[in-house]
C-alpha cells in the first residue's frame, strides 16, 4: 500500500482541523474533542474517514481496511494534496466547506427517509394500513429521487469504459516484436497493451468523448428534453458544467417532468433512470420489485377510490415496508461501490 509523506499527513491534519472547526461553527457536534483521521490509499484517490475516538489531538493513520465506521467520510484525489501545499489555507477551507455541504445534504436525505419510515411504522401499529401504504410510496419516491440527484457525479460512469474497436483503430498492439519501440502513451486493455503517439491518443480520446455524448443525447431524446438540453448547453459554449450540472438542472426544472420516481417501469421511471444513468439493474431484486409494483398499483387505486381500505392488510404493508428498505439500501450500496472502485 502506497504510503503518505510527512507533508501529506500535515495537509490531512490541517484539512481535518478545518472540517472540525467549520462543523462547530454550524453547531454540528460530531467529535467530542479532536477527530482521528483514517486514510485508505488507492492508486489515484484517498478515502478519508474522520472518527470520534476522544483524542486530544488529531492523528493521521493509514489503514488498508474499508470497514472503518466514520462519523464523517469523503474521497479526494491524491494530486489535491500537492495543490493544498501550494495554495493558501483558504483553499483547504473551501474544500472543507464543500465536504460539509455534502454531509448536510446526505444527512437531510437520510433523516427525511427515516422519519417517513417511522411514520409508516406508527400507522401500521395503529391499524391504519392504507395510510401506511401511501406514506411508504412517498418515502420511497423521496429517498430514491434524493439518491439519484445527489450522486450525479456518478452518472454515466460506465460509459467511460474503453472501446476496444477504437483502441485497435488508433493504437498499436504491442507484443514481443514491437515492444522495443517506445510510445509516449501505453494503455492496458485487459491483457493487451496498446501504444499511442500523441496524435493517435488525442483522436482516441476525442472519439470516446463523441460516442459517450451520443449515448447521453440518446437518453435525452428518449426523455423528450433534447431541445431544452441543447438550449442550456448553448449558453455555455456546448460544454457541460462539473458533473452534468446542466443536465441535472434540466431534469429537475423541465415542465415535461421527464423523470417520475412514483413510476417504477417505463421510460423516465425509477428503474429506467437508475439503469440508464448509473447502470444499476433493479431486476436483480425481483421479489422486492414485484412487491413494490403491486403496492404502487394499490396506492393508485386507493387514491382514486378503486380499492376498499380493508383490502390492505398488515402483512402486505409490512412486506412493502421491508421491500422499500431493501431497495433503497441496494441503491446506496451500489453507488458506494462506484466510490470505492473509481480511482
What residue ranges do the domains of the chain occupy? 6-87, 96-155+253-341, 157-242
How open is the CA angle 93-96-99, to the nearest 5 degrees?
155
> What's the pLDDT at 179?
59
pLDDT at 2 over 70: no
Higher pLDDT, 8 or 190: 8
User: Mean of the per-residue pLDDT values for the chain?
Assistant: 85
pLDDT at 134 over 50: yes
pLDDT at 117 over 80: yes
Higher pLDDT, 116 or 160: 116
> What's the pLDDT at 44?
67
Find all residues with CB under 8 Å of 32, minimum gap 6, and list them: 52, 54
Greatest mean pLDDT range, 88-92, 157-161, 200-204: 200-204
Reduced to 3 states (helix: H, G, I; strand: E, B; else coil), residue 86 is: helix
Q: Read off the pLDDT band of 132 (50, 70, 90).
A: confident
Higher pLDDT, 36 or 191: 36
In angstroms, rounded to a whole number, what is the distance separating the alpha carbons of residues 260 and 36?
Answer: 42
> What's the pLDDT at 1?
41
CATH 3.40.720 for the 96-155+253-341 domain, yes or no: no
* Kind plus residue range of the DSSP H or E element containing 149: helix 129-150
Q: What are the grid coordinates assigned to 287, written together?
A: 421479489
DSSP notation for 165-200: HHHHHHSEEE-TTTTTS--SEEEEETTEEEEE-HHH
Range of weakest confidence among 33-47, 130-144, 210-224: 33-47
Higher pLDDT, 96 or 311: 96
| Mean pLDDT, rounded, for 245-261 | 95
Query: Quick one: CA dihedral 5, 11, 13, 15, positive or negative?
Result: negative
* Number of H-type helices and E-type strands within the chain: 11, 7
**Any idea what DSSP says for residue 96?**
H
> What's the pLDDT at 214?
92
Greatest mean pLDDT range, 130-139, 198-207, 256-265: 256-265
pLDDT at 79 over 80: no
In angstroms, rounded to a whole number, what is the distance separating the alpha carbons of residues 141 and 264?
Answer: 10
- CA dist list (Å): 90 to 13, 39, 77, 86, 94: 15, 22, 18, 11, 6
Amino acid at each position: 500500500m502506497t504510503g503518505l509523506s510527512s507533508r501529506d499527513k500535515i495537509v490531512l491534519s490541517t484539512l481535518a482541523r478545518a472540517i472540525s472547526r467549520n462543523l462547530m461553527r454550524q453547531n454540528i457536534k460530531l467529535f467530542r474533542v479532536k477527530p482521528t483521521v483514517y486514510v485508505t490509499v488507492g492508486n489515484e484517490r484517498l478515502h478519508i474517514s474522520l472518527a470520534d475516538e476522544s483524542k486530544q489531538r488529531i492523528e493521521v493513520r493509514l489503514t488498508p481496511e474499508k470497514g472503518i465506521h466514520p462519523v464523517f467520510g469523503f474521497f479526494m484525489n491524491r494530486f489535491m494534496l500537492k495543490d493544498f501545499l501550494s495554495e493558501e489555507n483558504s483553499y483547504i477551507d473551501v474544500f472543507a466547506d464543500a465536504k460539509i455541504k455534502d454531509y448536510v445534504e446526505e444527512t437531510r436525505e437520510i433523516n427525511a427517509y427515516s422519519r417517513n419510515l417511522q411514520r409508516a411504522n406508527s400507522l401500521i401499529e395503529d391499524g391504519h394500513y392504507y395510510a401506511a401504504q401511501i406514506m411508504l410510496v412517498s418515502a420511497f419516491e423521496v429517498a430514491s429521487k434524493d439518491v439519484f440527484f445527489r450522486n450525479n457525479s456518478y452518472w454515466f460512469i460506465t460509459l467511460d469504459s474503453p472501446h476496444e474497436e477504437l483502441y485497435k483503430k488508433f493504437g498499436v498492439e504491442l507484443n514481443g516484436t514491437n515492444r522495443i519501440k517506445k510510445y509516449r502513451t501505453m494503455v492496458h486493455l485487459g491483457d493487451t497493451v496498446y501504444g499511442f503517439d500523441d496524435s493517435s491518443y488525442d483522436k482516441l480520446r476525442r472519439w470516446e468523448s463523441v460516442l459517450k455524448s451520443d449515448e447521453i443525447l440518446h437518453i435525452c431524446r428518449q426523455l423528450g428534453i433534447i431541445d431544452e438540453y441543447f438550449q442550456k448547453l448553448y449558453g455555455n459554449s456546448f460544454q457541460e458544467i462539473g458533473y452534468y450540472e446542466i443536465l441535472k438542472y434540466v431534469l429537475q426544472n423541465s415542465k415535461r417532468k421527464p423523470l417520475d420516481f412514483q413510476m417504477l417501469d417505463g421510460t423516465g421511471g425509477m428503474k429506467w433512470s437508475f439503469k440508464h444513468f448509473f447502470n444499476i439493474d433493479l431486476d436483480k431484486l425481483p421479489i422486492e420489485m414485484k412487491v413494490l409494483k403491486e403496492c404502487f398499483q394499490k396506492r393508485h387505486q386507493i387514491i382514486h377510490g378503486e380499492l376498499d381500505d380493508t383490502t390492505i392488510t398488515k402483512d402486505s404493508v409490512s412486506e412493502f415496508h421491508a421491500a422499500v428498505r431493501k431497495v433503497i439500501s441496494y441503491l446506496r450500496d451500489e453507488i458506494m461501490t462506484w466510490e470505492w472502485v473509481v480511482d
